[in-house]
Chain A
Amino acid sequence: MTRILRIELRRCGALLTGAATAAVGVAGLYVLALTGQTDLWDQQWNLLAVFQRIMLVILWPLALAGGAWQAGRDRRNRIEELLGTTPAPRWRRMQPSAVVTAACLVGGYLVVLVAGAPKVAVAAGYLGSGWLLVALVGALTLVAAGWLGLGVGRLLPHPYTPAVAGVGSLAALLAAIEVTRPSEVTDPGAALLLPFFTNTISEFEMVAGSVSAGQAWWFGGLAAGGLVLYLARNPLVRLLAVVPPALGLVLAAPMLTVPLEKAFPVDPAAVAEVCTTDDGPRVCVTAAHSRQLPALVAPARDALRLLEKLPDPPVSVHEVVPNSDRAQPATEAWVDSGNLGLTRDPADVTARILAGAGTPMCVRADDDAYLDVLRARSVAAAWLYGSYPVPGQTLFGDEQAVRDGMWETFTALPADEQVRRVAAVRAAGLTCGDQAAALGIGADG
């Protein structure tokens, strides 16, 4: 059997399908380099695994069509009569092509993973393990597509079957994205039955293990159904092909009917703190950004030194992730994750930490108060930094004029009042209060 598998591997069309999977997948990863968007997948292993799953919207129909093409091989080569006179039962003769189809698709999928790995290995802060499960489930979905394709190709032995299966499944998947879109914001259940993810995740999120397990049941069932369809000897056995997917769905349903935050929860390993261990003030980042810690230390300690102008100044700097429910202690200066890696200029980094006097932004961009809070934080940063404007800040004309006015008004205040108001900005930031009101100087001066 091993030699027969080797022959099949070298000669059958599954190798082409696997190569096409690898080529399209690798192209999908690196075409983003043209627009500088590889950070969609190259920052963490989880992101790579999830982005690869997103590409299944193309790869899945390709695998389905490849399987259907493979199933028509005996008919195309007019060898069915000859094979029919051999003692090997049909199901046994078809085993090698099913095995090779699966192996080539898994191989192609893993090639994409390996192709993305060098970039991720350079940037990723931690290895983790959940991504491996996500990748394996992705490979399983491709096997399901390939085997379903084999089954469909056997069921509908027509020259156009591969093309119709490929184009039809692509159209069906695209339609499914639209159908599941309204509900996936809060309840992604139906969307999780698709072979691909309809959204990407942040560097701090992961795919829940239960979701991967549910998807493994579902796609395992589909794969088994496809295999039954392909190997079945008669119509009655073909009818049984619906049993494995149905069973898979029943087993998967409880695991996939979960709200969004449980389907893609925060990854504890990604948000775990990694801190300096020397004698200087502590500077901490998330494990996801641990590679950025060395570049942060000097500007963060500069920021701590400058924050000493305030009463009860913070003594450490910590990266804070979006939507963190941890309260900020007065002893800590926090910097938003989004500010890391944006600039290599240490002075710019220091100024970003000083915004809001070492507190993160609590107001959303679509909030009415957003601009006022941004301005107040900027004035506080400039005052702490000791120069206006702070490094790295470039504004357009009207906004620059507003900030200039605010800065002049603020610096005209008595020195102790300036200290009190910046301290108030920090105090408001610690409790997510109104930092614009704390500064007490609006755009109208």
Chain B
Amino acid sequence: MATTVQAEGLRVRTGRYLAVDGVDLDLGTGVHGLLGPNGAGKTTLIRALATVLRPHDGRLRLLGQPMDGRPDLRAVRRALGYLPQEFGYYPRFTVSEFVEYMAWTKDVPSGERRRAVRNAIERVGLVDRADSPMKALSGGMLRRAGIAQAIVNGPELLLLDEPTVGLDPQQRLDFRAMLRDLGERSCVVVSTHLVEDVAAACTSVVLADAGRIVFHGTPDAIAAAGGPGDAGDSPIERGYSALITRHRAGLGVAS
């Protein structure tokens, strides 16, 4: 498996706070769920992978490019898709105009742009709202429009921060299917609170807490880490809470 994301001792600050503190990570093609409680550093890690934040310390390679020194950010960003947690958009643009505008910023060749836009909108199921202004969309539709702009350039590295917020159950099922499909060719990193999404769609799970990686393995492995006495309604939830509890006990952090 080719490595798309490679981090060694990665430290990232948000302001004066060290939100990612010594992360080692190797991610290749597949869907990688990034799980963890609030404040675990998930969003900071995703923003660093999205080239929004520069590493404070350690090494980070994205798509084979080292991010220290003077990286060729343009080349990395051309192969990047990103849905931020706070998804901003131009409210007067229609969905297709917005996705097309983003395709232009992502250097999608003009001859391929319209087809790429149509494909992206089809994949998120927004064809019937393609001509609606962004400001007229519901929360779930906005999220899907956000995913459409993230995938319009066929990214090798797709970063989705809380992509399922606002999606109804059927849309979440469709979204998981889309993730599995995308993960066959790309490295997809999905940050979420929803453990069942991870279990259903991810090939690997990265569990973070307090800026560190607690666990990296398959969904089955995380489920196996839990026992009947751990909190949770499903094996993977019990595994999740068991791993977090053990990590905090090891650090001496009150849970």
Contacts and interface: CB of A to CB of B under 8 A. Distances in A.
Q: Do A and B bind each other?
A: yes
Interface of A: 1, 3-4, 7, 10-12, 73-74, 77-89, 93
Given A11-B92, A77-B90, A81-B52, A87 B107 contact: yes
Interface of B: 47, 50-52, 73-75, 77-78, 80, 82, 84, 86-93, 97, 100-102, 104-107, 110, 113, 149
A12 B90 CA distance: 9
A3 B114 CA distance: 10
Nearest to B80: A85
Contacts of A1: 104, 110
B104 A4 contact: yes
Contact of B106 (A11, A86, A89): A86
Contacts of A82: 82, 84, 87-88, 102, 149
B86 A78 contact: yes
A78 B102 CA distance: 15
Given A4-B101, A4-B104, A79-B88, A85 B93 contact: no
Contacts of B74: 87, 89
A198 B184 CA distance: 69
B97 A86 contact: no
Given A3-B100, A7-B100, A83 B105 contact: yes
**Complex A-B, nearest 8 residue pairs according to Cβ-Cβ distance, in ascending order:** A79-B88, A78-B88, A86-B105, A88-B105, A87-B77, A11-B92, A87-B78, A87-B74
B75 to A, nearest CB: 8
Nearest to A84: B52
Nearest to B93: A11
B188 to A, nearest CB: 16
Nearest to A86: B105
A79 B97 CA distance: 15
Contacts of A12: 90, 92
A73 B90 contact: yes
A71 to B, nearest CB: 14
B4 to A, nearest CB: 15
Nearest to A11: B92
B114 to A, nearest CB: 8
A88 B106 contact: yes
Contacts of B110: 1, 3
B101 A7 contact: yes
A369 B194 CA distance: 98
A355 B251 CA distance: 110
Contacts of A86: 77, 102, 105-106
A77 B91 CA distance: 8
Contacts of A3: 100, 104, 110, 113
Contacts of B47: 81
A12 B93 CA distance: 8
A93 B100 contact: no
A81 B146 CA distance: 13
B88 A11 contact: no
A83 B104 CA distance: 11
